[in-house]
Amino acid sequence: MTDSVSAKPEDSALVRVRGLTTVLNGKKVFDALDMDIPRGKITAIMGPSGTGKTTLLKHITGQMRGDAGDVMVDGQSVSRLSRDKLFELRERIGYLFQNSALLTDFDVFENVAFPLRQHTQLPEVLIRNIVLTKLQAVGLRGAAGLMPSELSGGMARRVALARAIVFDPMLILYDEPFVGLDPIALNQVLKLIRTLNQTLGITSVLVAHELEAIKQVADHIYLIANGKVVAQGDPKTIANDGSPWTRQFFGGEADGPVPFQYPAGDLAASLGFPGRGA
């Protein structure tokens, strides 16, 4: 981490993204993106579909590497870590997948115990205590014996959350945690995110579209589009900053800086009316 880069709003950022540029299939996903994720806060990343929010999370975890620029997590440049160092870093990061990604071979208990079994030689009693504590935290201690196929979407998400926090990580990345949840399950997950952040002080990064939910929980919001941060701030200020991006996104307008039409040629020409343009 270079000190010449001034830490912008917070005194200490856990994740710093500097000048990140990534080209995927000829399309520039990130164009010199700068972003700071403050320590101990809940940061939401929003933006139109396809702007690479999930891709950004993958850069933070080192699953993808940018073509230029840098991603620093807790002072370490992710793209320059060796595989072993990267795996060490990942043990301190929890990641909640969009579709929970529970291992279908194992029951709930074993799913939560999986990281412990893979990385530690803890005695069985201790593993059991840790797992049941985490399951209790997400309210699913009674479901320990169920298989993933027997869980509802909300329950699976909570189990995945229990698994993500089993090592008490410094950072949790939530990839679309509210998708497909009924209002009750959504509120449960929302409450969990807040509780985990407040009680354990876990820095949280949220990628989501649910505006109301995010307003309730996020401390800081980044709005990205076209590979850049187009707006940022806490939920109140960002909603009122008046830029066309925020107006369209938070106002839910169909047309705006994000066009309704996918780029295409002249409609008349496509429909085969020659000469009209002439």
Positions in the binding site for another protein (CB under 8 A): 61, 63, 87-88, 90-91, 93, 95, 97-99, 101-104, 110, 114-115, 118-119, 124, 163
Are residues 99 and 120 in contact, defined by beta-carbon separation less than 8 angstroms? no
**Rounded distance between C-alpha atoms, residue 143 and residue 134, angstroms:** 12
Comparison of 92 and 236: residue with beta carbon closer to another protein: 92
| Closest separation in Å from C-beta 235 to another protein | 28
Provide CB contacts within 8 A for 3, sequence distance 6+.
Answer: none
Q: Where are the beta strands (DSSP E) in the chain?
A: 13-24, 27-38, 42-46, 68-73, 76-77, 93-96, 171-175, 203-207, 220-225, 228-233
Comparison of 175 and 230: residue with beta carbon closer to another protein: 175
What does the block give as tokens for 80? 């320059």
| Closest separation in Å from C-beta 118 to another protein | 5
Are residues 204 and 165 in contact, defined by beta-carbon separation less than 8 angstroms? no
| Closest separation in Å from C-beta 133 to another protein | 18
Comparison of 115 and 233: residue with beta carbon closer to another protein: 115
Comparison of 19 and 115: residue with beta carbon closer to another protein: 115
| Closest separation in Å from C-beta 83 to another protein | 8
Are residues 67 and 41 in contact, defined by beta-carbon separation less than 8 angstroms? no
| Closest separation in Å from C-beta 124 to another protein | 5
| Closest separation in Å from C-beta 72 to another protein | 19
Comparison of 2 and 118: residue with beta carbon closer to another protein: 118
Per-residue b or e along 147-181, where b marks 16 or more CB atoms closer than 10 Å to that residue's CB: ebeebeebbbbbbbbbbbbbbebbbbbbbbbbeeb
Residue 232 bridge partners (DSSP): 222
Comparison of 7 and 103: residue with beta carbon closer to another protein: 103
